[in-house]
């Protein structure tokens, strides 16, 4: 999500086997492999929980007359953009082919958007109206949020929290969980995962989502340079935000610098794709 987030610190015992820092080379951006912490939590359970919470959110919005109808111009716009992005998601996560993708608009002034596990996307009207986003900028936001789901950052956060809180209880079973989820951890998903709408991500997660999202947008024919203008608008809308070292969220200037450094990797993808 684009709001500020805190992240869970993991235990020293888990560090050695949990991260793979090896990056893979390909046509586009380069990011590290997914954390093995994701293996601690069944993907199907995370996605099932996300669907339940997403449906609850839609119902609450509908009860308040805050859920935009299917024929709303902005809903049609968002869904049109998503249809261009989604086919390029499959390379990043094969499970995405089987996700029942949804895109909805919530009538709220919040500058926010998210994509829950399993492809459940929501935009708040505030991010569209207050920032006056172009289609290219919407694609950058949507690509970023989709990237969180593809890279399973929520599942990773839950796995880290679970490993930390259950280490003393499960002992040696944790090691075997890297090769198959320990059944004793299953019930902990509900306890540790709880609210996926407000689950917090780390700076690393956010930076990775920026890059993957930028590539998705470029492949779909949206100008990746929009990542720069997007974060300029976000910075202007968030005056008074704490400096980067006080926040788990990368600063807008840091994100812009990172996006600009990676533009040469995605501009050829955009040029080949053509305008939508």
The pLDDT score that the predictor gives to residue 235 is 87
Reported pTM = 0.77
The pLDDT score that the predictor gives to residue 220 is 97
The pLDDT score that the predictor gives to residue 162 is 66
Per-residue pLDDT at 175 exceeds 50: no
**Other C-beta atoms lying within 10 Å of the C-beta of residue 243:** 8
User: Is 152 designated active site?
Assistant: no
Q: How far apart are CA 46 and CA 25, in angstroms?
A: 29
The pLDDT score that the predictor gives to residue 135 is 98
The single residue of 145, 156, 206, 208 carrying the catalytic annotation is 145
Residues in the chain: 276
Name the band, by pLDDT with cuts 50, 70 and 90, for residue 14: very low
Instruction: Map out the domains of the chain as residue ranges.
Output: 32-176+192-273
Helix (H) / strand (E) element for 260: namely: helix 252-273
Over the stretch 49-86, which tens digit does the pLDDT of each residue have?
889 999 999 999 999 999 999 999 999 999 999 999 99
Over the stretch 106-159, which tens digit does the pLDDT of each residue have?
999 999 999 999 999 999 999 999 999 999 999 999 999 999 999 988 887 777
Helical H segments across 33-152, by residue range: 43-63, 73-85, 125-129, 135-150
Higher pLDDT, 226 or 251: 226
The pLDDT score that the predictor gives to residue 200 is 65
Paired tokens of 225? 């340079």
Q: Measure the CA dihedral 52/58/61/66, to 10°.
A: 170
The pLDDT score that the predictor gives to residue 45 is 85
Percentage, residues of the chain above pLDDT 90? 51
Residues 6+ apart with CB under 8 A from 124: 105, 106, 108, 109, 110, 111, 112, 113
Distances (CA, A) of 253 to 23, 232, 243, 244: 24, 8, 10, 9
Per-residue pLDDT at 28 exceeds 90: no
């Amino acid at each position: 999500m684009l709001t500020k987030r805190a992240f869970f610190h993991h235990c020293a015992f888990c560090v050695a086997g949990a991260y793979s820092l090896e990056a893979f080379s390909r046509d586009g951006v380069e990011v590290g492999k997914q954390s093995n912490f994701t293996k601690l939590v069944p993907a199907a359970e995370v996605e099932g929980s996300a669907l339940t919470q997403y449906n609850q959110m839609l119902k609450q919005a509908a009860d308040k007359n805050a859920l935009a109808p299917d024929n709303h111009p902005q809903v049609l716009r968002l869904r049109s953009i998503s249809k261009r992005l989604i086919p390029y998601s499959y390379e990043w996560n094969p499970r995405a082919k089987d996700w029942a993708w949804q895109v909805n608009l919530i009538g709220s002034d919040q500058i926010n958007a998210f994509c829950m596990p399993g492809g459940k996307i929501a935009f708040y009207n505030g991010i569209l109206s207050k920032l006056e986003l172009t289609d290219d900028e919407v694609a950058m936001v949507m690509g970023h949020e989709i990237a969180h789901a593809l890279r399973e950052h929520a599942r990773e956060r839950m796995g880290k929290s679970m490993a930390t809180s259950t280490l003393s209880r499960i002992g040696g079973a944790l090691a075997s969980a890297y090769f198959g989820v320990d059944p004793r951890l299953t019930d902990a998903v509900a306890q540790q995962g709880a609210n996926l709408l407000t689950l917090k991500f780390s700076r690393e997660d956010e930076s990775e989502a920026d890059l993957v999202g930028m590539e998705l947008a470029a492949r779909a024919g949206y100008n990746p340079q929009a990542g720069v203008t997007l974060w300029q608008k976000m910075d202007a809308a968030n005056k008074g935000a704490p400096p980067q070292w006080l926040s788990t969220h990368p600063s807008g200037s840091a994100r812009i610098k990172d996006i600009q450094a990676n533009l040469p990797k995605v501009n050829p993808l955009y040029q080949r794709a053509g305008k939508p």
